[in-house]
């Protein structure tokens, strides 16, 4: 009697449980959903630097708290009291560049630091003084002279060069696709001219809403430049789960947010799949996926609670075991004030004024 032919196999037969919605999500309490992330390379013994949108500030703080080799190449001067550090842009990231929301900003930050790009517009007027167009809120009041601004900027860019030369892991949180640029030389700014210095002129500036191809091109350019300077550098990309405060497009703000985050997520995934030295950590998915029921957002449905930050970093530290001596901050107890917004500074928050 002839044997029955073997049942044909298909790709899903060999997939682990985490590949199936029913096994991972359907009957699982949201906080018990696991296997969000598997690291591509170790980081615990390497100098780590961070940059990105506002949410990236949480990541840097947690890395410091956990005892990782977190770089701060531009620390606050000793005479400045700790309560004023954030007011002057210290301790936000590994250098005093403020929020770097877009891939275009990031590319130009490196280019300016190594002398490959010198923007035509070196300062903006504000309140009788001067601000740096590329970090207009880095000081609580404007500089009194262009010379003072230039001294601060030159020192800052020197520190940024040191960062890219010495770091071995760079964690970048992609935040926005919308960025305002100069029509003359393509300079990309963290906020629109006129919001925090300068004067908006449609003949001089324009909105650029980056496409997926734009973001990929920017990031590949950035990777190439950095690794030519420092071939030990590896990158961890993540996408901010914080929605847009406002959009300059014709779209409704939620629709504009979904475009922006979808583009950034697609680009980050493509880059992580393509390059061995690029990893992707899903902070965006952990916070904003429908299966999480929006529980990690504050009542404004935009800012992320301490509880959400803690849960995200818990997934990260499952793979990247902290060095001994680190201590993860615990979430708030019932009744305690959530101070998540007091801990970070966002240029984008300035746009809320125009929505009142």
Average pLDDT over residues 351-356: 48
Q: Report residue 6's pLDDT band, with 50, 70 and 90 as the boundaries.
A: low
Predicted confidence band of residue 323 (pLDDT cuts 50, 70, 90): confident
- 143 is written with which tokens? 């500089």
Instruction: For the chain, give every domain's residue range.
Output: 47-323
- The secondary structure of 271-283 as a DSSP string is HHHH-TTEEE--H
pLDDT score at 92 = 93
pLDDT computed for residue 345 by the predictor = 66
Q: CA 223 to CA 274: how far, in whole Å? A: 12
Mean pLDDT (the chain) is: 91
Question: What is the distance between the alpha carbons of residues 155 and 168, in angstroms, rounded to a whole number?
Answer: 22
Q: How much of the chain exceeds pLDDT 70, in percent?
A: 89
Q: Which structure tokens are listed for 319?
A: 């793979």
Please report the pLDDT score of residue 1 as a whole number.
Answer: 57
Tell me the per-residue pLDDT of 240-265, one tens digit each, with 9 for 90 and over: 999 999 999 999 999 999 999 999 99
Q: Are 242 and 55 in contact (CB under 8 A)?
A: yes
Q: What are residue 234's DSSP bridge partners?
A: 169
Q: Is 144 left (phi over 0), alpha (psi -120 to 50) or beta?
A: alpha
Tell me the mean pLDDT in the region 170-177.
Answer: 97
Question: Can you tell me the distance from the alpha carbon of 319 to that of 37, in angstroms, rounded to the nearest whole number?
Answer: 7
- Report the alpha-carbon distance of residue 225 to residue 38 in Å, rounded: 27
Q: What is the mean pLDDT of residues 310-321?
A: 96
Q: Which residues of 141-162 are buried (b: 16+ CB within 10 A; e: fewer)?
A: ebbeeeeebeebbeebbebbbb
CA distance 131 to 216: 30
Give the chain's length.
356
> What tokens does 68 get?
């990782």
C-alpha–C-alpha distance, residues 83 and 80, integer Å: 8
Name the pTM for this structure: 0.91
In this predicted structure, the answer to whether residue 326 has a pLDDT above a threshold of 60 is: no
Task: Encode pLDDT of 190-243 as tens digits.
Answer: 999 999 999 999 999 999 999 999 999 999 999 999 999 999 999 999 999 999
Model pLDDT for residues 30-67, shown as the tens digit of each residue = 999 999 999 999 998 899 999 999 888 989 999 999 99
């Amino acid at each position: 009697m002839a044997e029955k032919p073997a049942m044909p196999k298909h790709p899903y037969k060999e997939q682990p449980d985490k590949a199936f919605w029913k096994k991972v999500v359907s009957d699982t309490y949201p906080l018990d959903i696991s296997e969000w992330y598997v690291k591509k390379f170790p980081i615990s013994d390497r100098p780590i630097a961070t940059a990105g949108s506002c949410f990236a500030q949480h990541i840097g703080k947690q890395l410091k708290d956990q005892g990782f080799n977190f770089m701060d190449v531009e620390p606050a001067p000793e005479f400045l009291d700790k309560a004023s550090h954030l007011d002057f842009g210290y301790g936000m990231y590994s250098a005093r560049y403020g929020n770097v929301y877009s891939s275009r900003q990031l590319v130009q930050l490196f280019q300016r630091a190594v002398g490959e790009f010198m923007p035509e517009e070196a300062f903006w007027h504000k309140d009788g003084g001067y601000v740096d167009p590329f970090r207009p809120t880095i000081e609580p009041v404007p500089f009194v002279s262009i010379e003072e601004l230039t001294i601060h900027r030159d020192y800052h860019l020197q520190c940024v060069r040191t960062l890219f030369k010495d770091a071995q892991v760079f964690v970048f949180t992609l935040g926005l696709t919308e960025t305002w640029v100069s029509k003359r030389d393509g300079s990309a700014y963290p906020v629109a001219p006129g919001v925090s210095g300068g004067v908006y002129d449609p003949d001089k500036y324009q909105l650029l809403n980056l496409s997926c191809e734009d973001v990929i091109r920017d990031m590949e350019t950035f990777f190439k430049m950095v690794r030519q300077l420092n071939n030990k550098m590896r990158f961890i990309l993540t996408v901010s789960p914080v929605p847009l405060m406002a959009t300059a497009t014709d779209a409704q703000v939620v629709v504009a947010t979904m475009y922006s985050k979808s583009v950034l997520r697609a680009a980050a995934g493509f880059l992580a799949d393509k390059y061995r030295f690029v990893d992707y950590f899903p902070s965006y998915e952990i916070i904003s996926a429908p299966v999480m029921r929006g529980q990690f957002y504050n009542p404004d449905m935009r800012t992320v609670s301490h509880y959400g930050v803690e849960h995200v970093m818990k997934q990260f530290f499952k793979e990247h075991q902290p060095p001994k001596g680190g201590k993860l901050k615990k979430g708030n107890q019932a009744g305690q004030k959530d101070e998540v917004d007091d801990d970070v500074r966002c240029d984008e928050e300035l746009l809320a004024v125009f929505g009142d």
